[in-house]
Amino acid sequence: MAEVNLLARYPKARRNVKERMVHKEENRRIALRFGKEYFDGTREQGYGGYRYDGRWIPIAEDIVRHFKLRAGQRVLDVGCGKGFLVKDLMKVCPGLEVFGLDISEYAVVNCEPEVVGRLHVGNALHLPFPDRSFDAVLAINTVHNLDRTGCIQALREIERLAPGRAYIQVDAYRSPEERQVFEDWMLTAQTYAMPREWEKILAEAGYTGDYYWTILEIDPEWTT
């Protein structure tokens, strides 16, 4: 188990926290449906337009290198959305068999054409695949959408499918100020903690894969 940032080459987004704070509870209620509004509605209620733009290609390259993936091996992306990472993993490693699972039927129905038939609608709590059936499992910004008990169950499921061969990234903060910015911004997370607290959760789940944190940086211009 190692702390390693496989999203180091993901572009940084600017976040207008003040704008999202208006009607926050209503926005949160709508976002939690993980439907059209969350993916392709306004920025206040989610992504504000979840469209493929190739930004996952460098991350896919780093994942392939990190896990030494090769043609014929199998990868699962839990919380795959419309399958952008699934598509890019297959692009950078031809012959790699990549699949996805997401709770959102909207995302799966509106997936990238290259991944039709590879994405399943389902819940990270119960991954409908045999033990040790994948060479790597990814769950990027997904399991923190469950409560603490659910996180532990999802982590056990990930571990079951690919013992020691997974990568998760979860919402975290390192200071009270970062926690405040995160709480002001976030719409769907149920479990978020300081990195050392997360490590206790990972240990309690018996998770032996790799991990890193999604930490919102404070933007003085756009912070309340």
Ligand X SMILES: C[S@@+](CC[C@H](N)C(=O)[O-])C[C@H]1O[C@@H](n2cnc3c(N)ncnc32)[C@H](O)[C@@H]1O
Residue with the shortest CB distance to ligand X: 79
CB of 146 to ligand X, least distance (A): 6
Torsion over CA: 169, 186, 51, 12 (sign):
negative
| 123 forms part of the interface with ligand X (CB under 6 A) | yes
Cα–Cα distance, 93 to 197 (Å, whole number): 35
Least CB distance to ligand X at residue 102 (A): 5
Q: How far is the CB of 65 from ligand X (least distance, A)?
A: 19
Q: Tell which one of 127, 136, 146, 205 touches ligand X (CB under 6 A).
A: 146
Beta strands (DSSP E) in the chain are 74-78, 97-102, 119-121, 136-140, 166-171, 210-214
| Residue 214 contacts ligand X per CB under 6 A | no
Nearer to ligand X by C-beta: 144 or 165? Answer: 144
Footprint (CB under 6 A) of ligand X, residues 101-120:
102-104, 107
Tokens of 19: 């704008």
Residue closer to ligand X by CB (options 45, 145) is: 145
User: In this complex, which beta carbon is closest to ligand X, that of residue 103 or of residue 172?
Assistant: 103
Interaction of residue 16 with ligand X, rule CB under 6 A: no
Of 27-46, binders to ligand X (CB under 6 A) are 34
What count of residues does the chain have? 224
CB of 216 to ligand X, least distance (A): 13
The answer to the question of residue 209 lying near ligand X (CB under 6 A) is: no
Q: Are 215 and 10 in contact (CB under 8 A)?
A: no
Asked whether 194 and 172 are in contact (CB, 8 A), the reply is: yes
Rounded CA gap, 76 and 69, in Å?
12
Any residues with CB less than 8 A from the CB of 144 and at least 6 apart, and which? 151, 170, 171, 189, 190, 191, 192
What is the SS3 assignment for 3?
A: strand
User: Cα 96–102–104 angle (5° rounding)?
Assistant: 140
For the segment 60-89, give every residue that binds ligand X (CB under 6 A).
78-79, 81
Q: Rank residues 41 and 79 by Cβ distance to ligand X and give the closer one.
A: 79
Listed ranges 20-28, 63-71, 87-95, 100-108: which one lies at the site for ligand X (CB under 6 A): 100-108
Least distance between ligand X and beta carbon 56 (Å) = 8
Q: Are strands 119-121 and 97-102 parallel, antiparallel or unpaired?
A: parallel
Binding residues for ligand X, rule: CB under 6 A, are: 34, 78-79, 81, 102-104, 107, 123-124, 140-142, 145-146
